[in-house]
Structure 1
Amino acid sequence: MGVDYYNILKVNRNATEEDLKKSYKRLSMRWHPDKNPDIKKTEAEAKFKQLSEAYDVLSDPQKRQIYDAYGEEALKSGNVPPRPTSGGATCFHFNPRDADDIFAEFFGGSDGVNGGGRGQSFSRNPHADGTGQPPRKIPPVEKNLSFSLEDLYSGSKRKMKISRTVPDVYGKPTTVEEILIIDIKPGWKKGTKITFPQKGNQDPGTIAGDLIFLVDEKPHAMYKRDGNDLLVNQKISLLDALTGKTLNLTTLDGRLLTISLTDIVKPGYEMVIENEGMPISKEPGKKGNLRINFDVKFPSRLTTEQKSDLRRVLGRS
C-alpha cells in the first residue's frame, strides 16, 4: 500500500466526505507553516504537504478507488492492472493539487468562489487519444440555488447530494454520488457563483467539468433587498404621521428593533437606519442601511365636527 493516507488524516477506511473535511481542517491548521512559527519549518512543510496529498486522494472518488484497490504506487505511476478481457495495463495520469490551493478553499478564497470543490480529478493519460493534445475539459454545469434572505443575512451551510457520471478505472462510465457542503457567507448577493472545481460529469479521455451554483434570493414577506440596503414599507395612519409613533420591526436575525418616529411624515418620506441593512461580504463587520418607506393611510370620511376640529387645530379659518 505504501503511504497510508487514512492514517495521515487520522480517519478510518470508511470515512465519509464530512469526516475527511473535519480532520483536514483540524490537522492543516495545526501543521500549516505560516500558522505555527514555533514548529520547525521543514517539518511543518513536509507534514502539511502530506496532509494535503492525503485529502486530495481520499476526497476524490476516482483517486480513492484506485488507491484502495491497487495502492499508492499504481495511483502515482498510472499503471492499473487490466481487466481480464483486455490485453495490457490501463494508463492513467495522476495530477495532484497544490497544497496551498486546497487550504485556501477551506480558510480563504474570494467572494463568489468559495465552494468545497476538490479540484483536479483523476483522468486518463493526456495523450491517450494519440493526438498529442492535452485532454479536453468538459464545459461547466450551472445550477440556480435559492436561499432565504435570512440565510444570506446570517450565513449558513447547506449539504447538497449530487450524482455525476465519471469513468471508472477501466474507462467505463459509472455514476458516483457525493455530498457537497455549500458554505454561504453573510451578505452574498444574487448571482454569486459557488464553484466546485471538476465536480461535473467526465467522459473518458477528458477532464471533468466544474459544477457551479448560482445564488438566488427567495422573496421575503417584509423586506426587499437593494444592494446592501434593506427596504421595508410601513403603513401608518394620518394621525400617527402627524403626531408620531413607535415602530417595532423584527430583523432578519430575529432581533426586535424599536424605532421612534418623531418627525412629521410627509408624502415620499423615507427614514434611514444606519448599519441595519445586509452585511457587506467584502467588509466584515459593516452593513448597509435599513430604509423605511411610509404609506400614510388617510381616513375615508370625516364628519363635519371632525373637519371643524382639524381647521381649528391646524390654524385654518
Structure 2
Amino acid sequence: MATSQRDYYQVLGIPNTASADEIKKAYRRLARQFHPDMHSGAKKSEMEKKFKELNEAHEVLSDTDKRKKYDRYGAQWEQAEAYERARQAAGAQGGGQAHSFSGEGFSDIFENLFGGRGRSGSPRGFSAQGEDLETEAELSLREVLTGVTKRVNLMEPTPCLTCRGSGAVRNRPCQACLGTGSHVESKTIEVKIPAGVQDGTRVRVAGKGQPGVNGGKRGDLYLHVTIAPDKIFRRQGSDLQATLPVWPWEAALGAEVMAPTLTEPVRVKIPAGSRAESKLRLKGKGLPTAAGGHGDLFLILQIVMPSSLTDDERALFAQLGRLRTGDPRADLLAAAQRG
C-alpha cells in the first residue's frame, strides 16, 4: 500500500501523540486545501500527488491496529507482519525460544528480512538528500508592495535522545520513540519574501526541508504565495484599481479631493465635466514590477448622491432642472425603438 516515505505524522502536520479526533480534524482541513478539484493546470497534478499521500497517511493513522504497527516499525510497518511471522516460525522451530535467529537482535533480523535496509528504507552507507517541504503563505497587497518576513511553523523530526536515532535499545524497540528513532517537534522559522512577488509564485528557502539520510543534505522549503483580496484595491498585474466616490457638483465643476493609495492618501484633481466610470491615473502608485519600477493606480469615479437633501439643496436642484434642457435618455430610447 505505502507509496510515500514521508512520515505520516508530518504529512498531516501533527505530533505522534495526536488523538484520533486531532487526526480527523487535521485530515479534513488538509483535504479541503489539497483536493485536486480545487486546483487547475500544472498545480492540479501536484495536488493529486499530495492528496494521495494525505489519504494514505489518514488511512493508516486513523486505524488503531495499523497505527500501532506504524508507530513501532515506521515506513516498513506492512513488512513488519512478515517479520513477526518469521520470528514466530523461528521460535516454534527452536522450541519456542526467542533466540532462534542465532542471537540476532531486532535490528539485525529486520535488516536481514529487508535486504540490509533500516527503518527508513536506505541501504547502510548510502546518503540521500532530505525531502522538500511545501506550505502556503498568504500576503496582503501592502506586504506585496514592501516585502515581508513571514513566520512559518514546521513539524520536524528530531533524533530520539534515548536510542540516538537508531529506533532500538539493546536490540529491542525504543520505548521513548516507539521504535521510530525520532520525535516530531514544532519549529518556527522566518522567511523573507521580496517585494513585488506575484500570485502563485513558489519561493524557495534552501536547506529548510526534511533532514537528509545518513548525512545527506537537507531538502528545501517551498512557499506557495497567494495574494489575499483587498477591500479597497483590485489588482491587475502590477496595476491597481480603486473606486473613488465624488459628489455631482465635484464632477460637474471640478475639485481637488483626497484619494487612497497603498501608503498615504494623496490629493488628486477631478477635471470639470467628469463622467461616472471615468478613470484617473496615478503613475507609479501600483505594485512593484519585474523590471524594477512600479505599476499605476487607476481611480474609477463613482458619482454619488447625498442620502438626504436640505431645503436649500432641493431648491438648487429644482433650479438646475428648470435651466437644463434636453433629455439624457433620448439616445437610449431611440436605440430601443430601432431594436
TM-score (norm 2): 0.46
Q: Which has the higher strand share?
A: 1
Q: TM-score, normalised by structure 1?
A: 0.49
By percentage of residues, which structure has more helix?
Answer: 2
Instruction: Point out the structure with max Rg over C-alpha.
Output: 2
